[in-house]
Chains A and B, each alone.
Chain A
């Protein structure tokens, strides 16, 4: 193996994945290209490969999650890592242990990679500065959810070939959405034009400073976009009364069969899950021929395998 040609090779050097904002288009593309090589592991006879053999991954989830947590667990398993599941309810956090103490204790057991979800924005970054293990952000506050952003652009690229020149609408509760932010960074860096769509009450403050267009009307946007990503209304995060009623929200911002009739015939319908059927979109649309919602889940596995592989490689090859 020492024989390979000395070509100018791209080297991945981030041992943490904290967000997509700080990554270049080249780095994002490298993750997506790497993920391609992991797709086939899930379809073959032995659904496992050995690159993380002997490594320990901890799923450190301070917020509820099924999809992301299971996806990371399965990704780690398919790469032959050992995985420790840590949830807030069944841990010493409920006894008052701090984030740093929890992480340091896990590290003392010899873990190599921490996958963290936390309600406080910046928690993954804080952790990365204080422990030696690799840190992967699985969602922090309203900041970022980088692997979701990556799997979204991976799914679009796989079907459309490129993000360059595409128009993407992201609809719903933008203010409380880390998915919207990670999508925005990844999509705009790869050359797409992103429009945030929702009622003014669910737009982030200072949205005009972001590299996106803003619209308060789904009807205006639906005809123009190549991809529409319908965010979940996160009742658990919504304080006050951001919209008068669920029916009214659905009337103006729900993806209905009626609205789909005015969309481009090859529009991709996405949703980060879990869906509130009948609220963000009608069931016929969620299960319709333009929906790639389940492909997103499948692709998420390949993307997370790639991310686990790359951060570990960055740590292992730091001195090469």
Chain B
């Protein structure tokens, strides 16, 4: 097991991502963050807090459950049976810049599912993808707009993100 990001580095990445999102988003446009369950949810809340503070206006935050949009639901070669949870987005995503947040971008399949789930909720002005770790190994033509750390972990490895809210510690490891 190797620690690739510690608590301080994670904070620094969130700070940098916030600055880049603010720099690239025209002030007059409404912005919101939506996290993919479950680590993306926590990161989206943190980003929303930072963005609200810097922009001096409310940046709403929602949570997206992508289970119903997974491409391996009916595949005999899928992973474990996924559990359906709730999607909780208490605002209209129409015409907003949606910052879609996940912990790790790897194959791109979750991001694809999330985009399909999002556009069933309305028509955002744009969807931007922000991730803590951008891992090499894409299977879909999807790239992150805002990525903190790039990992070239070998295919058999597991990149795991631990966050204080859910795991009681703050680090990213390769196993």
Chain A residues near B (Cβ < 8 Å): 1-5, 9-12, 33-34, 36-41, 44-46, 48-51, 54-55, 79, 306, 309, 312-313, 316-317, 319-320
Contact = CB atoms under 8 A, between A and B. Distances in A.
Contacts of A317: 78, 80-81
A51 B81 contact: no
Nearest to B155: A2
B170 interface: no
Interface string B3-17: 000000000000000
Contacts of B74: 51, 54-55, 312, 316
Nearest to B159: A3
A12 B81 contact: yes
A39 B65 CA distance: 13
B106 interface: yes
A34 B86 CA distance: 8
Give the dominant DSSP class at B's interface.
loop
Given A37-B65, A37-B67, A320-B78, A1 B107 contact: yes
22 contacts: A2-B79, A2-B106, A3-B106, A3-B158, A11-B80, A11-B81, A34-B84, A37-B85, A41-B68, A44-B120, A48-B120, A49-B69, A50-B68, A51-B68, A51-B73, A54-B74, A312-B74, A313-B73, A316-B78, A317-B80, A319-B76, A320-B76
Contact of A36 (B80, B86, B109, B116): B86
A24 to B, nearest CB: 17
B52 interface: no
A174 B122 CA distance: 47
B81 A320 contact: yes
Contacts, number: 86
Nearest to B69: A50
Nearest to A13: B81
Contacts of B109: 1
B110 A1 contact: yes
A2 B84 CA distance: 17
Contacts of B117: 49
B51 interface: no
Q: How large is the interface on B (under 10, 10 to 19, 20 to 34, 35 or more residues)?
A: 20 to 34
A35 to B, nearest CB: 9
B128 interface: no
A39 B88 CA distance: 11
Contacts of B50: none
A311 B120 CA distance: 24
Contacts of B72: 1
A12 B81 CA distance: 8
Interface string B110-127: 100100110111100000
Contact of A46 (B79, B81, B121): B121
B83 interface: yes
Nearest to A55: B74
B68 A4 contact: no
Given A45-B121, A51-B69, 19 more contacts: A1-B70, A2-B107, A3-B104, A4-B79, A5-B160, A9-B83, A33-B83, A34-B83, A37-B65, A37-B85, A37-B86, A40-B87, A41-B68, A44-B122, A45-B122, A306-B84, A312-B74, A320-B78, A320-B79
A3 to B, nearest CB: 6
Contacts of B110: 1
B86 A45 contact: no
